[in-house]
Structure 1
Amino acid sequence: MTLETTGTLPVTELAAGAIRHHYDVGDEFFRLWLDSSLTYSCALRETAGDTLEAAQERKLQYHLDAIDATDAEAVLDIGCGWGALLRRLTGTHRVQRAVGLTLSERQAAYVAAEDYPGVEVLLESWTDYEPDTRFDGIVSIGAFEHFARPDDSPEEKIGVYRHFFTRCREWLTPAGALSLQTIAYANMSRDDASSFMQQEIFPDADLPTLAEITAAADGLFEVRSMHNARLDYAWTCEQWARRLRARREVAVALVGSEVVARYERYLKLSALGFRMGKIGLLRLVLVPYANGHFTR
């Protein structure tokens, strides 16, 4: 298990600072209201009686199945968080090499300290990453939302996303797959988005639309499957909010009442946005084209 950093962060300091603004509040704060695996993304709910832990485990397994992790030798996790997927790749599926990319210093340090066998975590962006081998699968959960900036035009956003898809296709083996999960604008435009969310929660980030994603992937990847799980995310945010309320006193002692209030408002607005269909949660499985033909 290794942790490496580049000499300079591979995106602007502004963008890296925005990542730290949200994700580096403190591991113990997030531990109060996330599930035990510290999975900070939309769960996959199947029954009314699902626990958050079971739904998060099902979500991770969905992405592992999407890239056929059982037969993979090397997998890349772009936006690896606290390493829940990395741990399953090498521990459960016996993947020989699992590489995680993150811009959060706290998350990178956490994964490194866990010392998972076969896992390498890099404090690095996909924009600068240069792998020394190809991957049988690539997973990216909850990172895509941070690639474009609010002042990018639609054409510039598509250009950023196409650069991402181009790099992923170059990094994949011919039979590899990319499993992508991202929040996206749905029945709402950028201009209608909450200024609180844009400035206080995810500064210098802008959501994609499904049309922008498919335009960027055109000719590079086939969209093998796509699911909109917005109601799953509404439920996930509600579960997180309930847990945070239950431990609010401890949370305030850790990070202060202002930070706790900010996250409570963020979770409430997010759940409402997903339930109303203003934003969606897309899970896409993409396989690369090669010489004009599908590769699998």
Structure 2
Amino acid sequence: MTPGESTRTAEAAAAIRHHYDVGNDFYSLWLDPSLTYSCALREGPDDTLESAQQRKLDFHLDAVRAHRARSVLDIGCGWGSVLERLSRTPSVERAVGLTLSTRQADHVTSRGYPGVDVRTEDWRTYEPGAPFDGIISIGAFEHFATPADSPAEKIDVYREFFTRCRGWLTDDGMLSLQTIAYANMRRDSASAFMQQEIFPDADLPTLAEITTAAEGVFEVQSVSNGRLDYAWTCEQWARRLRANRETAAAAAGPETVARYERYLKLSALGFRMGKICLFRLVLRPYGATYFNSRGGRRG
């Protein structure tokens, strides 16, 4: 790892811990029981947060054909909702989760899921011992680039991610990716509050940056925009946090609660106005011969 990569990894770890290590007790007050902290997949007006989150997990597991996979990697595994489901999938013998949050890693480890290995490690430094049949990454991609990166530098970071994923996959493996992205909002109009107090050193991608970075490495099989799903998800989280405000303040402090209530309100509004959106992408790797001819890296 180069000095530049080492610095970026250290900065990414600090930024992740700023947000995700606020406290498991705090998050458990307003997330669903699986502690899934990403956009749900809503089906209708009578849907519950719990059922919509399980439907989202189903989407990503189906995308990587988990029912016949022997090994799956979860990049940005959070509190382990995907890993828990993989541990109950008969075909899956090995499920690996990567997170930069020590509290999330400790939580997953404490659950004792069979066949699951959780690592407090960045994707930039991870080296698997064997290829995977599928890779899932939900809500991590938006943390890979920083506001200091130029558009070209962002694409380079994303391409490195896609190149590594391709090198970790079997030739018939699949990548399922979910990320927030810029929509009708310019990058220079992004909220300073969100970038400094909620997700420091994080910058959203655009769809064009994602597809440019994946060109020649992955073929985009499908892409959908779930921005209204995410507006609804944030509103559900905000409602639960308000209902547990006193307990949340005792767990994390009143300033933290106020900050998160503002963040969830602004996020819901941004999704509803189309300033930001939520992409779910299913990607198939190009064959090894084509991939290597384009200068890709295996292993």
TM category, shorter: over 0.9
Which position in structure 1 is the counterpart of 2:268?
271
Deviations 1:12-54 (A, max 9, x none): 3222111000000000000000000000000000010000000
- 2:30 aligned with 1:41: no
User: Which sections of structure 2, spanning at least 5 residues, go unmatched?
Assistant: 292-299
Which position in structure 2 is the counterpart of 1:143?
140
Which position in structure 1 is the counterpart of 2:283?
286
Which position in structure 1 is the counterpart of 2:51?
54
Aligned match for 1:164, one of 147, 157, 161: 161
Residue identity in the other structure for 2:261: E
Cα distance in structure 1, aligned partners of 2:290 and 2:54: 34
Identity %: 71
Could you state the TM-score of these two structures normalised by the residue count of structure 2?
0.94
For the 8 Å contact 1:180–1:285, the answer to whether it is kept is yes
For the 8 Å contact 1:145–1:182, the answer to whether it is kept is yes
Q: Which runs of 4+ in 1 moved over 3 A?
A: 8-12, 291-294
Cα distance in structure 1, aligned partners of 2:288 and 2:171: 11
- Number of equivalenced pairs: 287
Cα distance in structure 2, aligned partners of 1:234 and 1:182: 14
**Cα pair distance change 1:259/1:170, threshold 3 Å:** same
Cα distance in structure 2, aligned partners of 1:15 and 1:216: 20
Aligned match for 2:92, one of 83, 86, 95: 95
For the 8 Å contact 1:45–1:55, the answer to whether it is kept is yes
Cα distance in structure 2, aligned partners of 1:132 and 1:255: 39
Which position in structure 2 is the counterpart of 1:182?
179
Residue identity in the other structure for 1:68: R
Taking only aligned residues, the RMSD between alpha carbons, in angstroms, comes to: 1.4
Instruction: Give 1:290 deviation, angstroms.
Output: 1.3
Deviations 1:69-96 (A, max 9, x none): 0000000000000001001112134410
The alignment partner of 1:33 has SS state of coil
- 2:237 aligned with 1:240: yes
Which position in structure 2 is the counterpart of 1:67?
64
Aligned match for 2:118, one of 107, 117, 121: 121
Cα distance in structure 1, aligned partners of 2:289 and 2:267: 40
For the 8 Å contact 1:11–1:125, the answer to whether it is kept is no
Deviations 1:230-274 (A, max 9, x none): 000000000000000001010011111100000000000000000
Cα distance in structure 2, aligned partners of 1:36 and 1:148: 30
For the 8 Å contact 1:241–1:264, the answer to whether it is kept is yes
